[in-house]
Amino acid sequence: MTLVTIGLSSFVTLIIAAFRSKLTTDGNNLTNTADPSLNLRIVFLWIFGLAVIVHISINTAIYVECIPFISTKSVEATFSLLSSIILILFLLIQLSFISYYRGIRFIQTTIVNFSCIFILVANFVIWFNTFISDINVFHHGNDTVPRYSNASYCFRTSKIQKGLAKHVTSFLIPKRMEFCILASSFIFWFLRWSSDETNEKLNYYTNKHFRGGSTSVTEEGRHIIGQHIFAGAFGIFMNVPFFLTTVLLIFALNWESEDAILALQIGEVLSSLCIILPIYVSSYHLKKYFCDSRRPEKLTANEYLLILSSSGTMAYYMFGTVTAFTLPGNFTHLKTFLCTRIILMLETFLQTHFLIQIRRFRPKGQSSLFISSGGVNLMMTNMNHWILNSTNKPSCHRNLETKLVDCQSWLYIINILIPLMLFYRFFSGISGYAIYYKFKPIVVGK
């Protein structure tokens, strides 16, 4: 809470500097041109932020309920309530500040740099504390362990905890971690990275010149609505087996059902093909029709976050691959499980490489129905994975990886890797929308 308080003070410092006209910008507002997915990310940031506030409010209600059971009421209870208030203020100010200054570059100053660093540290400690407390509070079955204090025991056995928090926390904690990562990506934006600034200005002037006024539109610009609907229908069709099987396993079937697990693995393969095939088609069209538009660039802050989250996704699938190699051959559908994990790793690598490379191409007034349709499929497939994995609470009892490591160690591993995988799917889905928006043919009159 000390670090969160420092982060809150950093936001207050930036706001005061803005009111005193000391928080200067470079004059280029790139909200609607450089990144078409920026406003969409702001919407999801508010959704995640409100989910975090709901989670903190539930915990605050539990603290209030447990006040009679705390021996040092004047210290511990006061500190718990004050911490919740400070955390909520930090989240609300962060949401408002990012929303108001989205797409704006600050001139590099000591105040901006140090404030952003302190805010990033505060977001990191919230993320770290979330997954640690998730394991310690919700994954210990014995509520009467002697090492727990009266306050901890009350927190785990209170009526609010058993009646409400226990049922919704598994859905809110991933959103809390995703909020920390997504908010940090915007804070990185405020830091003055020279490569980011150059790329955004290039995109700004390119889009303004070629898509704002007189634009050379290809013949693909006619009758594109139905063709994009067809691409979306293809993505839905390929993702239906994975979606239905996951929903049935969560709410109706038993995770011990071998046939259901086999159907889930087949659904994952079909879903991966819905990403791999559009990537190959889009890459072919990029090299054939946009070969002169590629420009060398350094990695941006958002691309570093994409690589970080994809590394967590690869590590999660790698554990499954290593487990499949170490298990005896008498396990049911072991070969299918191994092939699924290898295909998912291939999909993650190809998609990450594609999302980084495609930002290096300038449309120059050109458009591509194939690339924009591929963006639709990337968006739908990744958001499908993100929604399902957000509602699918990890469990030791249905993971083969616990054959490789013990249950407690696996809980720590997946509470780090699952949020990274969720953010990777979310960020890739948003990037798919940006690809669609950037390369979609412009509708012209008859």
Both 305 and 180 in one domain: the answer is no
> What's the average model confidence in pLDDT over 315-335?
80
Average pLDDT over residues 149-174: 71
Tokens of 397: 């009892």
**pLDDT per residue as tens digits for the range 6-31:** 999 998 888 887 777 666 665 555 44
What pLDDT score was predicted for residue 264?
Answer: 84
Q: What is the DSSP-derived secondary structure letter of residue 76?
A: I
| 278-307 pLDDT tens trace | 999 888 888 887 765 555 677 777 888 899
Separation of alpha carbons 247 and 402, rounded Å: 23
Band (pLDDT 50/70/90 cuts) for residue 63 is confident
- For residue 58, pLDDT beyond 80: yes
- How many other C-beta atoms can be found within 10 angstroms of the C-beta atom of residue 171? 13
Tell me the torsion sign for CA atoms 43, 414, 349, 200: positive
Q: How confident is the model at residue 21, as a pLDDT?
A: 65
Structural domains counted in the chain: 2
pLDDT for 342-372, tens place per residue?
A: 999 999 999 999 999 888 777 666 778 888 8
Is 425 inside a domain boundary? yes
The predicted structure's pLDDT at residue 72: 53
Calpha distance 236→270 (Å, rounded): 11
380/429 same-domain check: yes
User: 97 and 78 in one domain?
Assistant: yes
pLDDT above 80: residue 315 = yes
| Domain shared by 69 and 183, yes or no | yes
Do 232 and 200 sit in the same domain of this protein? yes
pLDDT in tens, 229-286: 877 788 888 888 888 888 887 777 766 677 788 888 898 999 999 999 999 988 888 8
Assign 321 a pLDDT band (cuts: 50, 70, 90). confident
Tell me if 390 is assigned to some domain. yes
Mean pLDDT, all residues of the chain: 77
Q: Residues 6 or more apart from 280 whose CB is under 8 A from it? A: none
More confident residue, 57 or 395: 57
Query: Comparing 56-65, 151-160, 345-354, which segment has the lowest mean pLDDT?
Result: 151-160
Same domain, 298 and 422: yes
369 and 240 part of one domain:
yes
In whole angstroms, what is the distance from residue 424 CA to residue 420 CA?
6
Q: Both 177 and 243 in a single domain?
A: no
Residue 182 in contact with residue 308, Cβ under 8 Å?
A: no
Which pair of tokens denotes residue 97? 């500040």
| Domain-located, residue 355 | yes
Q: Which domain holds residue 329?
A: 196-210+220-439
Write out pLDDT tens, residues 66-97: 777 665 555 666 777 888 889 999 999 999 99
Q: Global pTM?
A: 0.79
Q: Are 131 and 416 in contact (CB under 8 A)?
A: yes
* 445 found inside a domain: no
Asked whether residue 444 is assigned to any structural domain, the reply reads: no
Whole-number Å distance between alpha carbons of 182 and 42: 9
Name the band, by pLDDT with cuts 50, 70 and 90, for residue 208. Answer: very low
Rounded to whole angstroms, the maximal C-alpha distance in the chain is 78
User: In sequence order, what are the residues at sequence separation of 6 or more whose Cβ sits closer than 8 angstroms to the Cβ of residue 220?
Assistant: 367, 368, 369, 441
The answer to whether residues 344 and 317 touch, using CB atoms and an 8 Å cutoff, is: yes
Cα–Cα distance, 218 to 369 (Å, whole number) = 10
Q: What's the pLDDT at 378?
A: 92
28 CB-contact burial (10 Å; exposed 0-12 / middle 13-18 / buried 19+): middle
Is residue 29 one of the residues assigned to a domain? no
Is residue 149 over pLDDT 60?
no
Answer yes or no: is 446 within a domain: no
Say if residue 285 is in the same domain as residue 145. no
Helix-strand-coil split of the chain, %, nearest 5: 75, 0, 20
* Position with higher pLDDT, 33 vs 5: 5
Whether 206 and 183 map to the same domain: the answer is: no
SS3 269: helix
Q: Which long-range contacts (CB under 8 A, 24 or more apart) does 219-226 make?
A: 220/367, 220/368, 220/369, 220/441, 221/367, 221/441, 221/442, 221/443, 221/444, 222/441, 222/443, 222/444, 224/369, 224/372, 224/440, 224/441, 224/443, 225/443
Both 67 and 82 in one domain: the answer is yes
Task: Check residue 417 and report its DSSP letter.
Answer: H
Q: Say what the pLDDT of residue 50 is.
A: 92
Q: Who's near 365: CB < 8 A, 6+ residues apart?
A: 210, 211, 215, 216, 217
How far is residue 264's CA from residue 243's CA, in Å, rounded to a whole number? 9
**142, 265: one domain:** no
DSSP string, 320-356: HHHHHHHS-TTSTTHHHHHHHHHHHHHHHHHHHHHHH
Residue 16 lies in a domain: yes
pLDDT at position 111 over 70? yes
User: Rounded to an integer, what distance in angstroms lies between the CA atom of residue 443 and that of residue 323?
Assistant: 51
